[in-house]
């Protein structure tokens, strides 16, 4: 066991086929869209379609999702968590090769990433902003430190 935490992340889309193609053309290994459904205990059938990033790109590139039933039915808007958290504003992803990852996002999103340095984790990389969320893709600045330890234990991942 390596403890809990995020293993990947999702971007919601209204044009799953086009966005899947955009990430694929940018160099991301991503599967074709596939449908999924589940029945809630109250009998309501939830349906969605998603494309998973694949291979070593999983966890560094997002998986994409388009809900076929209202998202609020699958993920209720009004929810509380015991620790008081209300959402996620940013995600840090440890990577070995920032230029490659930057290329994916610059091409797929059509918006250039911004170079950043994060002394709290001794990393350097880029920040990609998608809506109200920030994604920091960081590589270690030195051979030892928190990002290198993370990459050694878990590989590139959030």
Question: Which string of DSSP letters, residue by residue, matches 106-119?
Answer: HHHHSS--EEEEET
Residue 1 lies in a domain: no
Residue 105 is part of a domain; what is its CATH number? 3.10.180
Confidence of residue 80 (pLDDT cuts 50, 70, 90): confident
Residue 2 clears pLDDT 70, i.e. is over it: no
Give residue 84's pLDDT.
Answer: 86
**d(Cα 62, Cα 64) in Å, to the nearest integer?**
6
Residue 80 lies in a domain: no
Residue 145 lies in a domain: yes
What's this model's pTM, rounded to 2 decimal places?
0.89
pLDDT digit string, tens, across residues 3-55 = 677 889 999 999 999 999 999 999 999 999 999 999 999 999 999 999 999 99
Residue 81 lies in a domain: no
Q: How many domains does the chain have?
A: 1
Residue 78 clears pLDDT 80, i.e. is over it: no
The whole domain housing 17 covers 10-75+89-154
């Amino acid at each position: 066991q390596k403890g809990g935490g995020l293993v990947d992340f999702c971007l919601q889309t209204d044009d799953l086929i086009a966005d899947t193609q955009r990430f694929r053309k940018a160099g991301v290994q991503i599967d074709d869209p596939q449908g999924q459904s589940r029945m809630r205990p109250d009998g309501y059938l939830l349906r969605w379609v998603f494309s998973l990033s694949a291979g070593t790109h999983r966890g560094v590139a997002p998986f994409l999702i388009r809900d076929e039933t209202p998202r609020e039915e699958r993920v209720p808007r009004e929810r509380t968590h015991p620790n008081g958290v209300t959402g996620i504003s940013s995600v840090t992803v440890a990577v070995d090769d920032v230029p490659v990852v930057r290329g994916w996002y610059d091409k797929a999103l059509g918006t250039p990433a911004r170079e950043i340095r994060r002394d709290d984790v001794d990393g350097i990389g880029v920040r990609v902003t998608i809506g109200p969320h920030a994604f920091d893709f960081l590589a270690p600045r030195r051979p030892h430190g928190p990002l290198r330890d993370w990459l050694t234990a878990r590989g590139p991942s959030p």
